[in-house]
Amino acid sequence: MDSFQNAPALPPRRRRNLRPLLAAILLSLAGSASAADEPPRFALSGFGTFGLTRSDKDNYRFHSSSTQPSTMPGQNFDPSTDSVLGVQGTARLSDKFDLTVQAVSRQAAGYDYTPHITWAYLHYRPTPTLSLRAGRTTTPFFMFSDSLNVNYATPWLRPPAEVYSLNPFSDLDGVDAIYRAPLGQMDLEIQGLVGQSAVLTRSASGRLRNARALRVGLAGTGFSAQAGYTRTDLHLNWTDGFHQALRRQLIAAGEADAADELSGTHASAEFFSAGFQWEKNNWITIAEFAKRKVDRYISTAHGWYLTVGHRIDAFTPYVTYANQNQDTPAFCTPVPAIHAPLVGIYNNSRNTAQHSLAFGTRWDVARRIALKGQIERITPAPQSRGLFPSDTLADYLRPTTPVHVLSLSVDFVF
């Protein structure tokens, strides 16, 4: 396997084409190597980001994921949103078998920085075109799922949260099969998998059971695209005050059926995403769409983004417009009018709809080190605080307002 230390170096004044760089890094992570180079028996590599984020309003602290806690004032420089450190080791057991383990430390719910095992799988290659893996791998929900923790591999400071916050499950325990073959001037990749996953967020613990997914990708000649579909059983155990208050009120009023709709069991969920990346004449265009459909407990929502960037020597300035919409509120069961105010606040606390316009740049300042800066204007939708959740009831009774977020980071691989 190629480690990060064997990843292609960056020229001192001009960054290489992004797609080969991204492919080299992800091949390193996946434990792959070319037939011409004998991979080492053991390899150790790593990656990290140190980031700072702040908003221009004290009661609006930005979150890129529902796994991040929400108590720090927004106008403080917050290092927890984007900072991450990861280490990966791979052991080549034979020509057909290898073992990969990856651990990542970043702030999770409960202000916990305990390293989390994100990859731990046995990889078997029965043929040159077929790979089988068993253990813990990445959930293929998004176009950049494999590099969610490796910010160095992407042009942004972070992937657009309007899309990537739609699904907080990041790893899957199960088995998958990946078929790769040439298709004209393109490379075709088909992945099928089954498994389960678990996550702890600010307001709930969640499980995916009996997850089944199919992903199809094409790449070549500066263009890549992929689409994926997942169907799963969803189980949630809500722990936040809004949920507990609403459920207690419904039970006390004898609304047992309505209270059962908040129980968090026996839900089904579907997730679909599709996107592409195109690079030509130093221009980069990236677009992605994702939709989360759930029959109860959480909202059904969709999001999309469009990024256009241009490489100028070691710099890559870019602009991104992103949007997330709620299709169905989290709680839709009819209840007496007396419960309507609390139901409204409950649904607003689950609604993360917003749109944003971001300007940023990447500067490849040294070999395997990139500096990034981004400023964005984020406008939460009506009856939503967007990705600025709060545990304070009064915050959901105030009109929403646009928020400006400044983010800075240094990304590196080693």
Domain residue limits at 185: 43-413
Structure tokens at 127: 């043929």
pLDDT digits (tens, 9 = 90+) for 235-268: 988 888 888 888 888 888 888 888 888 878 888 9
| Cβ atoms of residues 228 and 263 within 8 Å | no
Answer yes or no: are the C-beta atoms of 370 and 363 closer than 8 Å: yes
More reliable by pLDDT, 383 or 158: 158
7 occurs within a structural domain: no
Is the per-residue pLDDT at 202 higher than 90?
Answer: no
Whether residue 150 is contained in a domain is answered as yes
Percentage of the chain modeled with pLDDT above 70: 89
In a domain, 23, yes or no: no
List the beta bridge partners of residue 385. none
The predicted pLDDT at position 414 comes to 93
**Residue 13 within a domain:** no
pTM over 0.95: no
Specify if 89 maps to a domain.
yes
On whether residue 11 sits in a domain, the answer given is no
Average pLDDT over residues 52-77: 80
pLDDT for the residue numbered 70: 61
84-113 average pLDDT score: 91
Average pLDDT in the 52-71 region? Answer: 83
Tens digit of each residue's pLDDT (9 = 90 or more) over 68-95: 766 565 668 888 889 999 999 999 999 9
DSSP code, position 9: P
Q: Half-sphere exposure (CA, 13 Å, Cβ side) for 28? A: 25
| pLDDT, tens digit, 9 for 90 and up, residues 295-350 | 888 899 999 999 999 999 999 999 999 999 999 999 888 888 898 888 888 899 88
Is the pLDDT at 110 greater than 70? The verdict is no
Does residue 60 belong to any structural domain of this protein? yes
Is the model more confident about 223 or about 34? 223
Sort strands 354-366 and 267-280 into parallel, antiparallel or unpaired: unpaired
Q: Which residue has the higher pLDDT, 29 or 161?
A: 161
- The first and second tokens of residue 260, run together, are 């059962």
pLDDT digits 0-9 by tens, 373-413 = 999 999 999 989 999 888 888 888 888 899 999 999 999 99
| 341: exposed, middle or buried (Cβ count in 10 Å: 0-12, 13-18, 19+) | exposed
Question: Residue 382, Cβ neighbours under 10 Å: how many?
Answer: 9
Please tell me the predicted confidence (pLDDT) of residue 63: 82
From 100-109, 110-119, 122-131, 291-300, the region with the lowest mean pLDDT? 110-119
Q: Count of domains in the chain?
A: 1
- Strand-pair partners of 310: 283
Q: What is the predicted pLDDT for the residue at 386? A: 92
Do residues 82 and 108 make contact, with C-beta atoms less than 8 angstroms apart?
no
- Please say if the pLDDT value at position 56 is more than 90: yes
Whether the per-residue pLDDT at 277 is higher than 50: the answer is yes
Q: Is residue 385 part of a domain?
A: yes
Nearest in space to 343 (alpha carbons), one of 398, 400, 261: 261
Residue 357 sits in a domain of what CATH number? 2.40.160.10
